[in-house]
Amino acid sequence: MNFINKLSAAWTANNSLLCVGLDPDLAKLPRDLQGQPDGIFTFCSRIIDATADLVCAFKPQIAYFGALAAEDQLEKICRYVRDNYPHIPLILDAKRGDIGATATQYAREAFERYGADAVTVNPYMGEDSIDPYLAWQDRGVIILCRTSNPGGSDLQFLNAGGVPLYQHVARLVADKWNKNGQCALVVGATFPEELAQVRAIVGDMPLLVPGIGAQGGDIAATVGAGQTANGMGMMISSSRAIIYAQPQADEDFADAARRVAIDTRDAINRHRAS
């Protein structure tokens, strides 16, 4: 089953548009896990177990593993998802951007080494920086379009031939780069009007939407702007607000993550078309 179909199935099976981001900052792990050699894996696998029935995808952020020389633990986490929750799409958040032979190496890293169903990539280097990933026809390529940070406007909001650059990127992907129906876009939740613009351009293409939770995006506006006619079409990503949820009295960190994930999934679902 390819990425887009696997994602659709997960939306339906779990009745959820929530994507849990795995950004394991060592300083924020529970103290008893900080000193363990496999502490990051233990932390993430417990979050995964606690939320797997609530999500449409898991999204580990590779930067956190690279900084800690913990690629072996990322491999274990990816294998854990594939072995235990094979119906849940696994997105490697890596925002890769390079060309030709180098892009092929990044695709191998994401799709073969880590076995990810999809990887995030950067459009700045153009179509031949995206093409190498498309050779893995059952995988997804999620292209940065409109990012949720303030500086996102520096380039993405420039007027490029009459439309903001991010809309030009959305059109390029929808009309040209998405040759085999493998593509999705990253569009931040902090700009709901722009999310609606992208949705109007790309039809039913899936959108990965970071920016709710710690970054402050409004859930009602986000869902209203980004969903497809049948209430699907989005992977709404939350990382820190869920994985570092503040435990209540006698509550375990994974139970706290589950509680916040339920709240977030439900808040999203209240605004979905049915």
What is the CB neighbour count within 10 angstroms for residue 49? 15
**Window 147-186: contact mask with a copy of itself (x via CB under 8 A):** x-xxxxxxxx-xxxx---x--xx--x--------------
Sorted by sequence, the CB contacts under 8 Å of residue 43 that are 6+ apart come out as 24, 29, 30, 33, 243, 253
Name the residue nearer to a copy of itself (CB basis): 54 or 195: 195
Separation of alpha carbons 168 and 191, rounded Å: 17
Name the residue nearer to a copy of itself (CB basis): 11 or 65: 65
26 close to 40: Cβ distance less than 8 angstroms: yes
Name the residue nearer to a copy of itself (CB basis): 152 or 206: 152
Residues 63-102 interacting with a copy of itself (rule: CB under 8 A): 63-64, 66-67, 69, 71, 75, 95-102
Q: Could you tell me which stretch among 43-51, 82-90, 143-151, 194-202 binds a copy of itself (CB under 8 A)?
A: 143-151
5 close to 13: Cβ distance less than 8 angstroms: no
* Helix (H/G/I), strand (E/B), else coil: 8: helix
Sign of CA dihedral 185, 186, 189, 192: negative
104 close to 132: Cβ distance less than 8 angstroms: yes
| Cβ at position 9, least distance to a copy of itself in Å | 29
Is 176 noted as a catalytic residue in this protein?
no
- Which candidate in 76, 95, 176, 179 is catalytic? 95
**Window 102-141: contact mask with a copy of itself (x via CB under 8 A):** xx-xx-xx--xx--------xxxxxxxxx-----------
Name the residue nearer to a copy of itself (CB basis): 144 or 221: 144
Q: Six-digit token pair at 265?
A: 């999934």
Name the residue nearer to a copy of itself (CB basis): 16 or 190: 190
**Window 227-266: contact mask with a copy of itself (x via CB under 8 A):** ----------------------------------------
Sorted by sequence, the CB contacts under 8 Å of residue 175 that are 6+ apart come out as none
Distance (Å) of CA 213 to CA 64, 155, 190, 268: 19, 25, 10, 12
What is the CB neighbour count within 10 angstroms for residue 135? 12
| Cβ at position 274, least distance to a copy of itself in Å | 34
End-to-end CA distance of the chain: 25
Task: Give the footprint of a copy of itself on this chain (CB under 8 A).
Answer: 23, 25, 61, 63-64, 66-67, 69, 71, 75, 95-103, 105-106, 108-109, 112-113, 122-130, 144, 147, 149-156, 158-161, 165, 168-169, 172
Active-site residue set: 95
